[in-house]
């Protein structure tokens, strides 16, 4: 009996070995390969998950630089009226009393002279507005910037700027005649440059300043320029929709052409065409 059991066990073992050898080599290879691939894919997945790229990783340094340049070249908005109000306040405060002592002295003097309440109240209001204002700030440059930003009111005040005001903020030595002349010419040139910059944006007030300015004085040291004055007059007459402005331009053209030669008038007409092409209407 024991021998029978032993023989049975041996038979079973041999049968299992035979069945194992019946499995095809391709199946064995496929099984091994699949296992290896599974392990490989698992490894790749782990690596991929640890090195996932963010959207910024797909943007080159050139792209970033291009975007930066695009943003950095955007126009900076400048509120011309805010600049104008600041400049006007600074300009208006130049003659204001400096401190409480000066204000009290003025009030005492006004009381003795029996000055009007209106004048006293106006002086007190000016003092309150200006007591904390830094009067060393260059309001002439602020007016220039406000005009360039589009303020016609600023242009009017900038055009009316006196040489002495400009000298002060440019630190001109008033004993140096050559420096004063150079500064005067510089201010004159700036006035016309600012007006022309505003004129091409369609400012009729700027064109009026240029029209009369070139006729009367012109930018120094060049002096009067009737051809350019007429050119701006013709341009203004052509673009304005205001009847009063149209009438002023017509009157101006009639007066100035009466003193000009035909050749000069033709030159002005040609220049006027060039000027109109620059207008931003």
Stretch (H or E) spanning 225:
none
Burial classification of residue 88, based on how many CB atoms lie within 10 Å of its CB (0-12 exposed, 13-18 middle, 19 or more buried): middle
How far apart CA 89 and CA 191 sit, in angstroms, is 21
Angle (CA) 122 128 132, round 5°: 145
pLDDT score at 277? 87
pLDDT score at 280? 59
pLDDT score at 244? 94
214 found inside a domain: yes
Has this prediction a pTM greater than 0.75? no
Count the alpha carbons within 13 Å of 88 in the hemisphere toward its beta carbon.
Answer: 14
Residue 261 three-state SS: coil
194 found inside a domain: no
pLDDT score at 226? 96
Question: Do 174 and 163 contact (CB within 8 A), yes or no?
Answer: no
pLDDT score at 248? 94
127 found inside a domain: no
How far apart CA 233 and CA 215 sit, in angstroms, is 10
Specify the number of domains making up the chain. 1
- Ranges of the chain whose pLDDT falls below 50: 1-77
Domain that holds residue 233: 202-281
279: closest CA among 242, 226, 236? 236
Angle (CA) 154 120 140, round 5°: 20
Count the alpha carbons within 13 Å of 75 in the hemisphere toward its beta carbon.
Answer: 4
Question: Do 227 and 238 contact (CB within 8 A), yes or no?
Answer: no
27 found inside a domain: no
pLDDT score at 16? 43
88 found inside a domain: no
pLDDT score at 220? 85
Map tokens 């080159």 to a residue. Answer: 60
Stretch (H or E) spanning 74:
none
Structure tokens at 42: 């698992």
228 found inside a domain: yes
Can you say whether the dihedral through the CA atoms of 55, 59, 64, 67 is positive or negative?
negative
pLDDT score at 41? 43
269 found inside a domain: yes
Structure tokens at 15: 């049968």
118 found inside a domain: no
pLDDT score at 81? 87
């Amino acid at each position: 009996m024991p021998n029978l059991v032993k023989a049975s066990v041996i038979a079973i073992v041999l049968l299992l070995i035979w069945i194992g050898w019946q499995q095809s080599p391709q199946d064995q290879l496929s099984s091994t390969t699949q296992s290896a691939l599974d392990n490989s894919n698992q490894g790749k997945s782990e690596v991929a998950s640890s090195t996932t790229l963010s959207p910024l990783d797909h943007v080159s340094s050139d792209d970033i630089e291009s975007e930066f340049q695009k943003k950095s070249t955007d126009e900076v908005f400048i509120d011309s009226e805010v600049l104008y109000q600041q400049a006007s306040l600074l300009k208006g405060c130049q003659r204001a009393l400096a401190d409480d002592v000066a204000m009290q002295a003025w009030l005492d003097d006004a009381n003795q002279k029996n000055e009007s309440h209106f004048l006293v109240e106006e002086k007190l209001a000016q003092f309150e507005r200006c007591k904390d204002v830094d009067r060393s700030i260059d309001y002439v440059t602020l007016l220039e910037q406000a005009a360039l930003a589009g303020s016609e009111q600023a242009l009017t005040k900038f055009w009316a700027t006196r040489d002495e005001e400009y000298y002060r903020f440019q630190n001109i030595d008033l004993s140096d005649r050559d420096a004063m002349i150079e500064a005067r010419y510089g201010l004159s040139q700036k006035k016309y440059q600012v007006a022309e910059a505003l004129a091409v944006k369609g400012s009729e007030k700027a064109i009026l300043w240029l029209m009369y300015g070139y006729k009367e004085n012109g930018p120094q040291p060049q002096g009067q320029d009737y051809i350019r004055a007429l050119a701006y007059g013709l341009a203004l007459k052509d673009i304005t929709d205001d009847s009063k402005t149209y009438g002023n331009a017509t009157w101006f053209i009639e007066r100035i052409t009466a003193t000009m030669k035909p050749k000069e008038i033709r030159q002005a007409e040609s220049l006027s065409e060039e000027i109109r092409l620059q207008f931003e209407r």
